[in-house]
Amino acid sequence: MSIKNDLILRAARGEQVERTPVWLMRQAGRILPEYRAIRQKLSGFKELVETPELAAEVTMQPVTILKVDAAIIFSDILVVPEAMGLEYQMIEKKGPWFEKTIETQAEVDRLRIPDPKDELGYVLEAISIVKKELNSSIPLIGFAGAPWTIFSYMIEGQGSKTFSKAKKMLYSDPKLSHELLDKITASTIVYLKEQVKAGADLVQVFDSWAGILTQEQYAEFGMKYVSDICDAITEVPVTVFSRGAYNSRKEMSKLNCATIGLDWNMNVQESRRLIGPNKTLQGNLDPCALYGDFKAIELETKKMLSSFGPDRHIANLGHGVYPDTHPDKVKCFIETVKEFKHN
């Protein structure tokens, strides 16, 4: 069944579009009072992620309230390590916390490659519900964390400024690092394939901590595994968002994906030159631009759109929308994109 507003899918495939499509990373949640109202009734973040009807409801909120061109399933990248056997908690105002971390060969051996239908059925069910509710109006984006980013949390046990424990493992035991990355990659591939079967129309791979590795390390421990995922997911367009990986943009042109996400520090013209004409670019307004007044937001958004040009661009922020951003400012960004005409 064809999707009525398929702008994002056409832009990802490099086809002509009437206007630039737009959605936001982290659009489902945090900024919307409607989301907070649901959260207040629950024990915590994980209850929301693991309750398909509620995850579906908060996935739909930005579709109806913000009028974005795609929905993205409400979930978390850390559902994958949990499904592999490493449980996490989401601590209010602190972020993720793993009581156990991975340090030894035996611990890597004990991790399983999960069956997503069993271990992650709640995400797949949420996707099915959203798909029905969208009723072919706009596409639904599925997602997963990139292997290096997931590895970082599994070794470190929590967020970090340096991820020095995770990086230490790359230097001190590269063989074990590759074994763990292989397992994460295999788990991610089966998970994304099941998301597609459940109804995801495209998928995004988030490499949030790509920028803390050297170019050489990212090639060996990051990009290699992202590339494996891109090669395996052939059913729908894939977007790769490697935050901070400035030095790896030329290599990204070789990835078997449709779209490369740019963070707000990546110059658009330079990125286009490095990545080449055969990939769609996504991004890349600074999320802090949405703290400006409406006139300033319009100006910055138009500047961004002009720099990307009319072809092969999906408008987004250069990272997830910040939780204290006013929804009306987000609407201003979205409306400016929709009304913009390229000369």
CA distance 122 to 15: 34
SS3 of residue 141 by DSSP: strand
**Catalytic residue of the set 10, 30, 115, 311:** 30
Phi, psi of 234 (to 5 degrees): -105, -10
30 is catalytic: yes
Which residues, at least 6 apart from 318, have a Cβ–Cβ distance to it below 8 Å? 262, 263, 264, 265, 266, 283, 284, 285, 286, 287
**Catalytic residue of the set 10, 39, 122, 182:** 39
CB-facing half-sphere around the CA of 324: CA atoms within 13 A? 3
**Catalytic residue of the set 6, 69, 76, 228:** 76
225 is catalytic: no
312 is catalytic: no
39 is catalytic: yes
Instruction: Give Cα separations from 219 to 41, 145, 278 (angstroms).
Output: 44, 17, 21
The shares of helix, strand and coil residues in the chain, as percent rounded to the nearest 5, are 50, 15, 35
CA distance 257 to 254: 8
Q: Are 48 and 339 in contact (CB under 8 A)?
A: no
243 is catalytic: no
**Catalytic residue of the set 26, 243, 249, 312:** 26
Is 272 exposed, middle or buried (CB count within 10 Å of its CB: 0-12, 13-18, 19+)? Answer: buried
Q: Which residue has the tokens 């459940």?
A: 198
Q: Are 101 and 68 in contact (CB under 8 A)?
A: no
Phi, psi of 227 (to 5 degrees): -60, -40
Residue-level length of the chain: 343
Residue 309 Rama label (left phi>0; alpha psi -120 to 50; beta): left
**Catalytic residue of the set 153, 191, 218, 246:** 153
Residue positions annotated with a catalytic role: 26, 30, 39, 76, 153
